[in-house]
């Protein structure tokens, strides 16, 4: 099967690298990572250790369309991906989003309808350097089977055969919201405090704040009619922070590297839904303001 991973950063490269041994994989990513993969292949470290050959390019220009496309870009780039790929994919191409945040699957379905699939993964990956990705854990990937179960089962099987535990779920919205709430309670705090994920559990104050953020987000989800698949998202968030203890979150890394974060698509989107369903979101609004202030240059005096 020809598979395109659009957004070959840490997660996209890790997944693409694991799929490449059994499938014809092409990675679309930033120039530095693409050049390193073109020259020396893609090296996977951590719980998976191997070096694989994979096609890598900075854009889809001139490439044959895929049977399956995985989108792992930053969520604020989703519409740009749609515009870049409009007219490129085949009539039977399936597209799966494994991005952070909310709103991605809705954007993709505006484009492809039932050929777009929502997904959520707990794989932990970090880009050590261009061409080298460390996989802290393969985690679990859930594929949405709410519209086309047969295709979802097929995609899930592709992941499992490549060594990534996977299942399908009809309630994919709940899975996506759960992952988003976990991210909302970990990522911005690490970015503001400049600490690793695990450090959040070392303080009663930050642990309590994580709990209160989760409760606020759950209130929004419940009011919006989202059925969350876990009894306590806070317990899930603590487990994720513990399992990824040494990790510096993607949001923290974005701040450190001077890049735009996904705060608007995570906590910001929760605020938008909260306003629509009549649930106040003061904690999420505060986190959005703090992270956005770190993204922006200091205001000029005058």
Average confidence (pLDDT) over 264-279: 98
CATH number, domain at 125?
3.40.50.720
Asked, for residue 301, whether it belongs to a domain, the answer is no
Whether 36 and 156 map to the same domain: the answer is yes
In the chain, count of helices (H) and strands (E)? 11, 12
* H-helix or E-strand spanning residue 206: helix 204-223
Whether 56 and 128 map to the same domain: the answer is yes
DSSP state of 66: P
Whether 193 and 288 map to the same domain: the answer is yes
* H-helix or E-strand spanning residue 256: helix 250-256
Given 90, 179, 260, 301, the catalytic residue: 179
Cα–Cα distance measured from residue 219 to residue 131, given in angstroms and rounded to the nearest whole number: 41
DSSP state of 31: H
Whether 41 and 121 map to the same domain: the answer is yes
The closest of 248, 259, 266 to 296, measured between CA atoms, is 259
Residue 302 pLDDT > 50, yes or no?
no
Instruction: List 133's β-bridge partners, or say none.
Output: 44, 127
Whether 42 and 166 map to the same domain: the answer is yes
Cα–Cα distance measured from residue 222 to residue 113, given in angstroms and rounded to the nearest whole number: 26
Angle, helices 204-223 vs 267-277, to 10°: value is 50
Whether 142 and 254 map to the same domain: the answer is no
Asked, for residue 300, whether it belongs to a domain, the answer is no
C-alpha 11: how far from chain center: 8
* 132-137: strand order across its sheet: 50-52, 42-46, 132-137, 124-129
Domain count, the chain: 2
Mean pLDDT of the chain: 94
Asked, for residue 207, whether it belongs to a domain, the answer is yes
Name the token pair of 242: 């513990």
Cα–Cα distance measured from residue 199 to residue 103, given in angstroms and rounded to the nearest whole number: 30
- Residues 151-194: tens digit of each pLDDT: 999 999 999 999 999 999 998 999 999 999 999 999 999 999 99
- Residues 127-139: tens digit of each pLDDT: 999 999 999 889 8
Residue 248 pLDDT > 90, yes or no?
no
Q: Domain limits at 78? A: 2-170
Cα–Cα distance measured from residue 218 to residue 116, given in angstroms and rounded to the nearest whole number: 26
Name the token pair of 75: 């969520």
pLDDT score for 245: 87
> Is the Cβ–Cβ distance between 42 and 69 less than 8 Å?
no
- Name 254's Cβ contacts closer than 8 Å, sequence gap at least 6: 191, 260, 261, 262
* H-helix or E-strand spanning residue 238: helix 233-243
Cα–Cα distance measured from residue 99 to residue 12, given in angstroms and rounded to the nearest whole number: 10
> What global pTM score does this model have?
0.91
Q: How many residues does the chain have?
A: 302
- Residues 137-148: tens digit of each pLDDT: 898 999 999 999
179 is catalytic: yes
């Amino acid at each position: 099967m020809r598979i395109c991973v659009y957004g070959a950063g840490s997660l996209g490269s890790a997944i693409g690298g694991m799929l490449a041994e059994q499938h014809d994989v092409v990675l679309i990513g930033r120039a530095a990572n693409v050049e390193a993969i073109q020259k020396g292949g893609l090296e996977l470290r951590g719980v998976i250790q191997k070096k694989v050959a994979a096609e890598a390019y900075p854009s889809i220009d001139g490439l044959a369309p895929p049977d399956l496309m995985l989108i792992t870009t930053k969520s604020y780039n989703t519409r740009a991906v749609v515009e870049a790929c409009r007219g490129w994919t085949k009539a039977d191409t399936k597209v799966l989003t494994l991005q952070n945040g909310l709103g991605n699957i809705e954007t993709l379905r505006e484009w492809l309808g039932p050929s777009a699939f929502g997904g959520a993964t707990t794989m932990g990956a970090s880009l050590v350097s261009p061409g080298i990705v460390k996989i802290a854990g393969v985690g679990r990937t859930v594929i949405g089977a709410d519209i086309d179960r047969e295709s979802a089962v097929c995609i899930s099987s592709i992941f499992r055969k490549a060594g990534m535990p996977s299942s399908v779920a009809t309630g994919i919205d709940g899975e996506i919201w759960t992952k988003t709430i976990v991210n909302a309670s970990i990522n911005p705090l690490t970015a503001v405090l400049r600490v690793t994920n695990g450090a959040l559990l070392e303080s009663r104050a930050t642990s309590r704040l994580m709990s209160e953020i989760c409760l606020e987000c759950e209130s929004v989800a419940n009011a919006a009619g989202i059925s969350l698949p876990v009894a306590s998202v806070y317990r899930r968030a603590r487990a994720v922070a513990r399992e990824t203890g040494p990790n510096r979150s993607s949001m923290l890394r974005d701040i450190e590297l001077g890049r735009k974060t996904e705060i608007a698509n995570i906590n910001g989107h929760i605020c938008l839904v909260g306003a629509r369903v009549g649930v106040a979101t003061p904690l999420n609004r505060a986190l959005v303001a703090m992270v956005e202030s770190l993204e922006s240059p200091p205001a000029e005096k005058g």
